[in-house]
Each structure stands twice: as structure tokens, then as C-alpha cells.
Amino acid sequence: MSVLRVRTWAVIAAMVAASVPSAASAESRRARVDRQIADLDQRGGQSTQKLRVIVQPGRNSAAVLKALRSRGVRIRRNHARIGRMAVELSRRDLKWLETLDGVDSLSLDAPVTAAPLANSEFTEGRTFTSLGKGKSYGNQTVGANSLITGDGSTFNGNELRALLGVANDAHRGAGVGIAVIDSGIAPVADLADRITAFYDFTNGQGGVPTTPVDGYGHGTHVAGLAAGSGLMSNGQYEGVAPDAHLIGLRVLDDSGSGSTSDVLAAVEFAIANKAALGIDVINMSLGHPPLESATTDPLVQAVQAATQAGIIVVVSAGNVGVNATTGQIGYAGILSPGNAPNAITVASAKPMGTLDPTDDLVANYSSRGPSWIDGYAKPDVAVPGQMLLAPAAPGSFLVTHYPSLLSADGNYIALSGTSMAAGVESGLVALVLEANREARLVPTAPDLTANAIKAFMEYTAIPMHDATGADYDRLSQGAGRVNGQGVMALAQSVDTSVPAGSPWLTTAVVPSSTYDGVQIPWAQNLVWGNNIVWGENIIWGENIVWGENIVWGENIVWGENIVWGENI
């Protein structure tokens, strides 16, 4: 994709100027604040209004905590492992806190939702109506039983594993734990015996052990894609890692909504109980628009803390890649915490009714990079996420509001989005961990790290092209379509128990995979940090000009029109 020169630097100058705080506000404030707090400061209002804020103290967190208590500020929760405090205070006290020595940054306790179900998909001249809460969904039904045959017939085997090229692989995620931080997990037949622990964090409960439940239905679907047994479908809709165990950490209510502080509590709980509950992977198919740099964003920093604790975190990129009104593709729509550097951030690939991954398309709705504010190269890989059937949570919001998406027997529901792609990817990560553990000469050697697994996923990925044959840019597909067969081959060829300084690779690996009798080469490239390693022509700096009139600084631009910035 060619890079266009900026047609007018005046536009960029105006956008940059809009992102710089006024001299007066900068001088009176010591702590960095997110966009929401900056807006509150600018608008003013009643000084007694109560707000929920997340505080990032500096090195002397004890002094900050003491000052907050002396001021009478309510400490809702101290997230010591993540370096944050959730507090409730008045606007008057917020102004005081902004100038308190020892406070590095302040963020509003932002609402968090399940990554919105794919709003629209524009393909083959058909427009599918919105699937958002409270909206109708009238133009598409679950007509075919099989993603692979596409003709209503039943595919003989596990569909997801076949799409990933691991249908005949003996690994099934045994001994690997996946924590699903979402709306819960319903104990349906495909999942009941996989759920080994369940805790409720909604409404500030802080992790109450309870019977598994899911009033929204999103978490159940994601969990089923990752580790469902397929019992209700004779194995056809089995998850990618059906022998993995599930830890349900409920942070979203029956409407699919929650708060950043509840998610922080769940992530911190997972870190603290990694060994006790056997948590190896966290799935986060949720988030909110980026409101500040990833360096201070509480959700991002929670993901970073989890990966540093040895947990692999898979995050959905978001479903805001297309303008629902015009159908125009947009860039820089990665949601938080999909902008976390250490997360495996996934786009949604759209299977085209075959086992051949080279004909998969990037779903129009899938959020594209780079990340807002920081310009990180995201997403990392694209994973099947379009119209996937997985267990339905009986009586949940999604089941009762979208009956047309249910399978004929009502046991499964077909959903699309990067949330679904993340569930598939989490299951694949479980297979990789199991396979690599078996391949190590010393069983007690360290597991593959989050960055190692991400690198394996990217290196073995399969480059994608659109329906015309043109290559997708790397901000749409990441390194390419995930290649389960390839990443499993690589995972079984490395040994982390070798002496320091020795190569991990213990056996030769052919950099290609065979799908349906066709040999397909790997991408053998990485997308990392704020650079695409093999380098396309990107103008980095304060702003990026990319593709067809995509200019970003403080806002996303679809062609000529800014569609998000302050409000999304």
C-alpha cells in the first residue's frame, strides 16, 4: 500500500495543537491525567460531585496512601501488584490530588464493555444490520451448519481445529488453565466440567467465589471457543483446547458492562492465584477506547503486570474498523487494552468456507492499527472470528434478544468479532504451552514467555490478501493469519531448558505448512512495538499518513471525516 504525502501541514498542526494542554493547566498540575479528567477540568462543575478515579502513585505509594486517608478520600481498592489505587472522591479533592506530590497519573474509572459485537459487515453487496445492544438483527440467520462446507452439511470433525490446521494434533490443552475475564461462564454441558473456579468481581465485589453464571452470554461463547468439549454437537463445535480448564472471572454484568477497577481486581487476582488455580492464559475480549498513553493506561499496565508474572494475555483488537454508515475502512481503532505491548492482540479473520487459510479475509469491522497515541504496531495476528458457533448461555441477553443467531437445537449461538477471535487464539495458546512442555528435556524448565509465543505466532503466520488479490497492509492483518499447524511445529522444536546462551531450537523446522494438500509458506516476519520489522513506508512522528487519506494525530480519520476522538 502506497503512502500519501500530507496535502496540508495545517491540518496536522491543528490536530497536534489540539492535543497539547494549555500552559495554565500544565503549570498547575503535577500528575498526568487522562482525557476524561482533562475534559472535566476544562468544563468545571460542582465541587462536591463524586468521582471514581484510578491513581498511579510514584515510588512512595505509602506516602500517597497516607495522604489520601488523611484527606478522607475513600480507598476502594489498593491494586499493589499493578501499582494502582481505586478511589472515590469529590471533584474538589480531585483537583487537590492532581497537585499532590508523589502522584504520577490519574485516570477516571472508565466503563468497560465486552468488545462490541461486530456492528456491520459489508460483503458481496449485502449489508448486515447492527448487532449492538438494543438494536435489531434482521438480515442474517444461521443458515449453514458448517463454516467449512458452507452448504448446510455437517463437517465431520472439529471445525475450529481443522481451520487452524491442528485437527489431527494429539494436543488438546491438558494441564493448561485459561482465565476468562468477561461476563461469566454458564455451566452448560460443553463447559460445566471444564470450569474449575469461578469468582464474581462485578460492582466492586472484589472476587466472590460463586456458582458459575453468565447473564449476558458473551463470556460463555468465548470460553466455548477456547475450551468447549463439543458434547452437545458430537464434537463438531468443540473448542480449540477441549482439555484445558477454565477459570471464570466475571467482571461484566448482565448488560455486558463493567468498570476498569473491577477488571484490574480480576487481573490482580489472576496474578496472585496463578499457581493455586493453574492460570496460564488470560482472555480479555473487552475494553474501552484509548483515553491516554499506554504507559499510564490502567488496563494496559494490568496486562503488562500479568505477562511479567508469566501469564499469556490474549486481547481482542476491537470491532471499530469500519464506518457503519459509509462502509469505509478506518485505522487507529485499537481499543484498550489491545494496545498493551505484551498482549497478543488479535484481529478477526473471515473464513471463506474452505480449509485453505490463504483465502481468509480480514473482517471489515476488525479494528486496525496503529494504536492510538503511542503508535504501536497492532494487531499482532488475525484469527478466525466470523460467525463462529459456540455454546449459548440459556436465558442470557444475547440468547433472548438475538434468537435468529441460535442453532436449530438452541444449544449454540453464532457470533462474530475480535472477541471470538481472541477465544480461538487463547485455545491455540493452550495447545502451544502443552506441546512445548512435552518437548522440554527438563519438565521444570520455564514456560515460553508471552513475547516468545507472540513471536512464534507471527513468524509462522500466513500472509493475507483481499478478495482482489491485493495484500493487506500490516496494520490490518498484523503478521498474517494465524497458523496453528505451523506454530505447533515450532513450539515442539524448541527447548527452554537448554543452558543459557544456547539456541532454543533443537530440531530443524521447515518454514511452511500444508493445508488440504497445499504447501503454504510462513510469513517469517514480526510486528513489534512501534515498528513493523520488515518495514513498509511509514511516516512516524507526531502523525502518520497511511493509505488512502488516513491521517492520525489526536483523532481517527475515515477519508476526510473524523469519526472518533472525544466520543466513542
One digit per residue, the tens of pLDDT, for the chain of length 568 reads 333 222 222 222 333 333 333 333 444 558 999 999 999 988 887 888 999 999 999 989 999 999 999 999 999 999 999 999 999 999 999 999 999 999 999 999 999 999 666 643 433 323 222 223 333 222 333 333 445 544 444 444 578 999 999 999 999 999 999 999 999 999 999 999 999 999 999 999 989 999 999 999 999 999 999 999 999 999 989 999 999 999 999 999 999 999 999 999 999 999 999 999 999 999 999 999 999 999 999 999 999 999 999 999 999 999 999 887 888 899 999 999 999 999 999 999 999 988 999 999 999 999 999 998 999 999 999 999 999 999 999 999 999 999 999 999 999 999 999 999 999 999 999 999 999 999 998 888 899 999 999 999 999 999 999 999 999 999 999 999 999 999 999 999 999 888 888 888 888 899 999 998 899 999 998 866 554 444 333 333 333 333 333 333 344 444 433 344 333 2
DSSP letter, residue 357: G
Cell 543452558 sits at which residue? 499
According to the model, what pLDDT value does residue 121 have?
A: 41
d(CA 428, CA 423): 9
**What amino acid is encoded at 227 in this protein?**
A
Question: What domains, with CATH codes, occur in the chain?
Answer: 1-27+537-568 (no CATH), 31-109 (3.30.70.80), 165-534 (3.40.50.200)
According to the model, what pLDDT value does residue 129 have?
A: 27
Residue-wise burial string across 118-143, b where 16 or more C-beta atoms lie within 10 A, e elsewhere: bbbbbeeeeebeebebeeebeebeee
pTM of the predicted model, to two decimals?
0.86
According to the model, what pLDDT value does residue 157 have?
A: 55
d(CA 372, CA 334): 7
d(CA 387, CA 171): 25
According to the model, what pLDDT value does residue 29 have?
A: 56
In DSSP terms, 336 is beta-bridged to: 288
Catalytic residue ranges: 182, 218, 419
d(CA 360, CA 346): 15
According to the model, what pLDDT value does residue 529 have?
A: 56
**355 and 162 in contact (C-beta within 8 Å)?**
yes
Residue-wise burial string across 146-184, b where 16 or more C-beta atoms lie within 10 A, e elsewhere: bbbeeeeeebeebbbbbbbbbbebebbbbebbbbbbbbb
d(CA 100, CA 68): 10
- Return the closest-CA partner of residue 361 out of 389, 321, 334, 332: 321
Which grid cell is 152? Answer: 448446510
CA 301, 307, 311, 314 dihedral sign is positive
According to the model, what pLDDT value does residue 463 have?
A: 97
d(CA 20, CA 495): 49
From residue 525, alpha-carbon distances to 60, 404, 429, 449, 546 in Å are 42, 41, 19, 18, 20
Element (H, E) at 23: helix 23-28
d(CA 345, CA 307): 13
d(CA 504, CA 48): 59
Q: What is the DSSP string of 301-323?
A: HHHHHHHHTT-EEEEE--S-SB-
10 Å Cβ neighbour count for 49?
Answer: 12
Q: How many helices (H) and strands (E) does the chain have?
A: 15, 29
According to the model, what pLDDT value does residue 498 have?
A: 86
